[in-house]
Amino acid sequence: MNQHGGFVLVAACSALLAGGERAAAAPEVGQYGPFHSTSPDSGTCGNFWANDTFDRFFRVNTSPNPDGTYTVTEQFRKGTFVTTAGPSPGACDTDPGGTVDAGVTGSMEGSFLIVVTGGAYDPAASCDEQTCGTTAGFVATVFGPGARYDVPTFLLHYSAARNGEWKNASEDRGGNHGDITGAP
C-alpha cells in the first residue's frame, strides 16, 4: 500500500525465459481513490440533463509513453443520477426532440481514458476529495499545474428502469445509444 491509500502494482519477472532472454517488466501503476464526487451531466444538446453522484478512481501508468505523454484511466463507480427538466441526453443525437422531466433517477457507471501532456508524474502528490475530486484537479495535483489533458476515449452507461438507458460513448466505444426520457 502506498501513501495515497492505494496499491502500487509492479509486475516484474527476473527469471530467464527459454532461449536466455529476460522478460520485460510491466509498467508501474499508481491507484488513487475513491473520491466521492458530484457533477452536472451534459447531453447532446449541450444542456445539463442530470446531476450525478459517484465514486471516482484513477489508475495511472507512472512511466511516460514514448511520446512523453502519460495514460490515466478514470473510473466512475457506484453512481446515481437525478434528472433536471429539459432536453433528454440523446435529444440532439439518438432521439431527436426527446425530453425528460425533473426527478427521474437511476444508476450510472463508466470510464475515461485520459492522455496527459506537459507534466510529470509526482509519486509524492497528495490526493484527497478536495484536490482530486475532479479530472482537472487530479491532473493538476498529480502531474503539475502546467499539465493538460484530453479524453479521447470514454464510455458512460446510465440506466433509469422504465425511463430508458443511455450510453454516452466515444466512437471507438460504439458511440451514443438510447436515451432517458419521460416523467418519474
Does any domain span residue 11?
no
Does any domain span residue 90?
yes
- pTM given for the model: 0.83
Print the domain residue range for 165: 29-178
- The number of C-alpha atoms within 13 Å of 125 and in the hemisphere containing its C-beta is 23
Q: How confident is the model at residue 21 (pLDDT cuts 50, 70, 90)?
A: very low
Does any domain span residue 65?
yes
Q: How confident is the model at residue 18 (pLDDT cuts 50, 70, 90)?
A: very low
More confident residue, 11 or 164: 164
Does any domain span residue 163?
yes
Domain count, the chain: 1
Indicate the length of the chain as a whole number.
Answer: 184
pLDDT value of position 24: 53
Does any domain span residue 122?
yes
Both ends of the chain: CA-CA distance in Å? 44
Does any domain span residue 157?
yes
pLDDT at 158 over 80: yes
Phi-psi region of 12 (alpha: psi -120 to 50; beta: other; left: phi over 0): beta
Does any domain span residue 53?
yes
Does any domain span residue 55?
yes
What percentage of the chain exceeds 90 in pLDDT?
85
Q: Cα–Cα distance between 50 and 25 in angstroms, integer?
A: 43
